[in-house]
């Protein structure tokens, strides 16, 4: 149990080190010390964006909705966040002693003069504890920040922002949601952190938010979609199941997915006996080596190369790992030589690692003789080693390169264009000094105990209860945080009837975790998602 907790702690630390949760606002008070001041009034603006050659006029709403920490408490709150008549909290009670609530910020875009029941998509990033500035300002909002196409750090501000010709507004109305404690979202009341910072409390908050949003804007009969990235896919699996109690989703989109934390390449050495992380991450390691021209006798094209690597990973490599100490030395040497042939990392290193190399170790080792650390979330990025003698990468060059442009973009755009948050701090991350995320999860049908994070049962149960539900999985080959092969493995091992396998579609890109930082991939991301919505909005 201790080793398992150590592995999960290592994974959580790695997730929190991502651009999904980098910046800390240490000046912000801890959640328990905040009091619920009056929220800023919603801001309504209008704009237009051209997508696929068509001008789309839209109405934008930036505002908040308050949700309770339980269904019972939530039902006592009106849409204005105040307790309904007859259910008031005793007024002399101090705000910090009141039941916990979360005021969740959103930026919603509604196409003007559109049918009332137009499709609507709820989008969010992950972290856990991340705002949704990345999907909002990088993927599908009406404006996007432009980052270099050659996987390099920009010089610094000013960062160019342009109308987003790949906005998803041509296919769906859009609602970008900041998780409790992130962006302009805040948590209040007694034990507010415990009430919202965890696998299950977080999913329940999003469940209550979405139902409140549908009520406020009278959109209950619209085709409904979820779009989550990174830890947002973990949330989406749980949320898809929770929403099933009240409504049928038309589809859920998983970008850079992780459903079972035992599959992560981050810290698997803390969970001995679980060898899946190593052979599921290896195709991404090989893709990274191919990108950086480290593969001996490198083939010309990536995808045929990866098909060969995938077969090796599931076959000889997995078989060797599963034999444990029974693996014959000659076979071990042969596997190490094959690992070197696919990555350029010397066989002696693989032997020393007992054929088991974590994502952080690979990022450090691949270009170590040049003093270069390879990126984690997007392994096309690289930077100088922080510590030449360390065993693992000391940072993620991708995260350091991308956080500032997105943070800058969302702060400028929200205030200058959406006219919201003038006197507020936008928090890219919920990571106050005492931030703690409760990784425990109670899956559907459990007997009451808490388990570590594996939300595959949630998604499988939702699909079985709604056989019309469509799922789309997308990701990047150059991602060691949420590996594409691990994500595909998860979806192909859901406990669902074979008849539902066809409800899942797969698309992968020659990019990393945030596939949209590369413009050609952003166009494909838009096209695949728009087609997914069009194909399922009628419940076919």
Count of CB atoms situated within 10 Å of the CB of 162? 9
The pLDDT score that the predictor gives to residue 445 is: 78
**CA 61 – CA 44 distance, rounded (Å):** 5
**CA 267 – CA 286 distance, rounded (Å):** 19
Residues sharing a CB contact under 8 Å with residue 443, sequence separation 6 or more, in sequence order:
451, 454, 455, 457, 458
The pLDDT score that the predictor gives to residue 29 is: 39
List every span in the chain annotated with CATH 3.40.50.1820.
11-65+97-262+403-536
In total, the chain counts a number of residues equal to 540
C-alpha distance from residue 387 to each of 272, 346, 349, 369 (Å): 27, 21, 19, 13
**CA 538 – CA 252 distance, rounded (Å):** 15
Indicate the pairing of strand 251-255 with strand 372-374.
unpaired
**CA 540 – CA 537 distance, rounded (Å):** 7
Q: Which of 515, 496, 501 is nearest to 471 (CA)?
A: 501
Q: Which of 199, 183, 36 is nearest to 123 (CA)?
A: 183
The pLDDT score that the predictor gives to residue 210 is: 98
pTM over 0.85: yes
* Assigned architecture for domain 11-65+97-262+403-536: 3-Layer(aba) Sandwich (3.40)
C-alpha distance from residue 244 to each of 66, 121, 139, 196, 224 (Å): 21, 16, 27, 21, 12
Tokens of 265: 């390449």
Decide if 494 contacts 274 (C-beta within 8 A): no
C-alpha distance from residue 500 to each of 452, 505, 530 (Å): 26, 11, 22
Q: Which residue positions in the chain have pLDDT lower than 50? A: 1-6, 16, 19-35, 91-92, 540
DSSP states along 141-184: SSEEE---TTS-----SSPPEEE-TT-GGGT-EEEEEPPTTSBT
Decide if 34 contacts 186 (C-beta within 8 A): yes
Cα angle: 419, vertex 183, 73; to 5 degrees: 105
Convert 340-399 into a string of H (helix), E (strand) and C (coil): HHHHCCCHHHHHHCCCCCCHHHHHHHCCHHHCEEECCCCCCCEEECCCCCCCCCCCCHHH
Residues sharing a CB contact under 8 Å with residue 354, sequence separation 6 or more, in sequence order:
none
**At 29, is the secondary structure helix, strand, or coil?**
coil
Cross-strand partners of 145: 161
Cross-strand partners of 104: 65
User: Phi and psi at residue 52, in whole multiples of 5°?
Assistant: 50, 35
**CA 168 – CA 493 distance, rounded (Å):** 30
Residues sharing a CB contact under 8 Å with residue 471, sequence separation 6 or more, in sequence order:
251, 252, 253, 254, 459, 463, 491, 503, 504, 505
Tokens of 2: 């201790």
C-alpha distance from residue 473 to each of 64, 252, 529 (Å): 29, 9, 10
**CA 395 – CA 38 distance, rounded (Å):** 39
CA dihedral sign, ordered 318, 322, 327, 332: positive
**CA 437 – CA 355 distance, rounded (Å):** 32
Burial class (CB in 10 A: 0-12, 13-18, 19+), 55: exposed
C-alpha distance from residue 361 to each of 58, 265, 266, 310 (Å): 47, 10, 9, 20
Burial class (CB in 10 A: 0-12, 13-18, 19+), 519: middle
**CA 280 – CA 12 distance, rounded (Å):** 19
In a 13 Å sphere around the CA of 269, the CA atoms on its Cβ side amount to: 11
Decide if 398 contacts 376 (C-beta within 8 A): yes
Q: Which of 122, 439, 435, 399 is nearest to 260 (CA)?
A: 439
């Amino acid at each position: 149990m201790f080793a398992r907790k150590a592995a999960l702690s290592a994974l959580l630390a790695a997730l929190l080190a991502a651009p999904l949760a980098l910046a800390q606002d240490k000046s912000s008070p801890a959640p328990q010390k905040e009091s619920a001041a009056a929220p800023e009034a919603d801001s309504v603006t209008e704009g237009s964006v051209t997508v696929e050659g068509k001008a789309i006029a839209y109405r934008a709403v930036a505002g908040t909705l308050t949700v309770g920490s339980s269904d019972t408490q939530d039902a006592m709150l009106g849409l204005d966040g105040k307790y309904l008549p007859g259910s008031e909290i005793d007024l002399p009670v101090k705000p910090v002693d009141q039941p916990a609530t979360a005021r969740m910020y959103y930026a919603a875009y509604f196409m003007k003069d559109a049918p009332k029941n137009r499709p609507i998509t709820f989008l969010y990033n992950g972290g856990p504890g991340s705002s949704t500035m990345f999907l909002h300002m990088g993927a599908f909002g009406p404006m996007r920040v432009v980052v270099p196409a050659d996987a390099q750090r920009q010089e610094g501000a000013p960062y160019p922002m342009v109308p987003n010709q790949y906005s998803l507004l041509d296919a769906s109305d859009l609602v970008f949601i900041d998780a409790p404690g992130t962006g302009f979202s805040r948590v209040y009341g007694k034990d507010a952190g415990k009430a919202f910072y965890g696998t299950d409390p977080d999913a329940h908050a999003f469940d209550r938010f979405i139902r409140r949003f549908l009520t406020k804007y009278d959109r209950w009969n619209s085709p409904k979609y979820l779009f989550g990235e990174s830890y947002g896919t973990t949330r989406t699996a749980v949320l898809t199941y929770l929403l099933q109690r009240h409504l049928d989703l038309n589809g859920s989109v998983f970008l850079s997915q992780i459903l079972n934390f035992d599959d992560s390449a981050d810290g698997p050495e803390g969970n001995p006996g679980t060898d899946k992380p190593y052979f599921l991450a290896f195709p991404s390691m090989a893709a990274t080596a191919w990108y950086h021209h480290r593969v001996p006798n490198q083939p010309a094209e990536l995808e045929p190369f990866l098909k060969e690597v995938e077969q090796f990973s599931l076959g000889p490599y997995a078989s060797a790992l599963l034999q444990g100490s029974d693996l014959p030395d000659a076979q071990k040497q042969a596997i190490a030589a094959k690992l070197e042939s696919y990555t350029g990392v010397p066989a002696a290193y693989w032997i020393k690692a007992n054929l088991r190399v974590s994502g952080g170790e690979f990022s450090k080792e691949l270009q170590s003789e040049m003093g270069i650390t390879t990126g984690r979330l997007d392994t096309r990025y690289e930077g100088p080693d922080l510590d030449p003698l360390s065993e693992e990468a000391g940072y993620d060059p991708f995260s350091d390169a991308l956080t500032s442009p997105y943070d800058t973009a969302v702060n400028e755009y929200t205030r200058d264009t959406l006219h919201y948050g003038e006197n507020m701090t936008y928090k890219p991350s919920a990571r106050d000094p005492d931030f703690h995320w409760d990784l425990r999860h109670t899956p559907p049908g459990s007997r009451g105990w808490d388990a570590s994070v594996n939300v595959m049962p949630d998604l499988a149960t939702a699909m079985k209860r709604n056989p019309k539900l469509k799922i789309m999985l997308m990701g990047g080959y150059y991602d060691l945080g949420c590996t594409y092969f691990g994500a595909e493995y998860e979806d192909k091992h859901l406990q669902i009837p074979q008849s539902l396998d066809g409800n899942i579609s797969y698309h992968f890109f020659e990019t990393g975790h945030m596939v949209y930082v590369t413009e050609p991939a952003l166009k494909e991301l838009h096209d695949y998602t728009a087609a997914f919505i069009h194909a399922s909005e009628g419940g076919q």
